[in-house]
């Protein structure tokens, strides 16, 4: 009985060893038609449903250790002047939440401090931060602090970091933008780019995740099963032994 009492079971238990194994989290549509979060091993395998709510989850972002996930949760009945942001402890399934005083459409990116103890929310009208505690208390930042925290929420590439994945300055698609201003186009139809470990970038291409090395190497498309409908918003963690 003591062993059973101390056992914590989550949707990822015995499926993904968070913090050690490389994995990806996405937004998708479940069998019930609800918008939920799903997770799978990064290089292929089975997608497992991570959340089971009747409200929509969006903007997932894995923390630097791979054991915390930030995302937002929206419902049709939600106050139009607020956004509920969540931090989930992936090893226990415990969630903490806090309200950001801005319209849901105004938040377009979440991020983390380098140590993973502070979550960041970037919106059209501001930047907010919250220490990982219960509840999450979101505080607006301004001036140089705003610039610093906004930068922390970007999808930075490389090790050491040298570029950002972002929309191209001209035309459609995604580009890798070096810190020196040089632009390398990934694809005219690529969307939703993310850091894929220290040496690659991931993005959506016609609803499929492609992974492209930052240096020499081949483009690859990991093979998954049980892929949720309308897969989008990928976020990746390389595990403790990134390749």
Mean pLDDT confidence for 98-102: 87
Mean pLDDT confidence for 172-191: 94
Residue 241 lies in a domain: no
Q: What is the band of 101 on the pLDDT scale with cuts at 50, 70, 90?
A: confident
Residue 237 lies in a domain: no
Residue 138 lies in a domain: yes
Residue 198 lies in a domain: no
Residue 87 lies in a domain: yes
| Backbone torsions φ then ψ of 223, nearest 5 degrees | -100, 120
Residue 124 lies in a domain: yes
User: Do 228 and 44 meet the contact criterion of CB atoms below 8 Å apart?
Assistant: no
Residue 242 lies in a domain: no
Q: How many domains does the chain have?
A: 1
Give residue-wise pLDDT tens across range 153-177.
999 999 999 999 999 998 889 999 9
The residues with which 61 forms a beta bridge, in sequence order, are 70
Residue 50 lies in a domain: no
Mean pLDDT confidence for 43-70: 95
Q: Which domain holds residue 145?
A: 55-153
- Which run of H or E residues covers position 149? helix 143-152
Q: What local confidence, expressed as pLDDT, does residue 78 receive?
A: 55
The token pair at 142 is 């301004």
The token pair at 15 is 């499926």
């Amino acid at each position: 009985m003591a062993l059973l009492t101390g056992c914590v079971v989550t949707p990822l238990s015995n499926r993904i060893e968070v913090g050690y194994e490389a994995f990806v989290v996405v937004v998708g549509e479940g069998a019930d038609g609800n918008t939920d979060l799903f997770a799978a091993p990064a290089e292929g395998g089975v997608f497992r449903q991570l959340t089971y709510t009747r409200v929509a989850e969006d903007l997932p972002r894995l923390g630097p250790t791979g054991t915390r996930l930030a995302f937002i949760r929206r419902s049709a009945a939600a106050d139009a002047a607020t956004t509920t942001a969540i931090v989930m402890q992936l090893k226990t399934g415990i969630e903490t939440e806090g309200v950001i005083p801005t319209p849901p459409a105004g938040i377009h990116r979440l991020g983390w401090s380098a140590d993973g103890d502070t979550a960041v929310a970037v919106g059209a009208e501001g930047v907010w931060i919250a220490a990982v505690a219960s509840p999450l208390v979101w505080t607006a930042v301004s001036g140089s602090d705003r610039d610093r925290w906004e930068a922390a929420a970007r999808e930075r590439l490389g090790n050491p970091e040298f570029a950002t994945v972002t929309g191209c300055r001209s035309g459609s698609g995604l580009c890798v933008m070096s810190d020196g201003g040089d632009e390398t186009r990934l694809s005219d139809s690529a969307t939703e780019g993310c850091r894929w470990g220290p040496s690659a970038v991931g993005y959506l291409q016609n609803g499929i995740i492609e992974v492209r090395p930052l240096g020499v190497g081949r483009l690859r498309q990991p093979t998954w099963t049980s892929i949720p409908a309308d897969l989008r918003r990928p976020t990746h963690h390389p595990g403790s032994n990134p390749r």
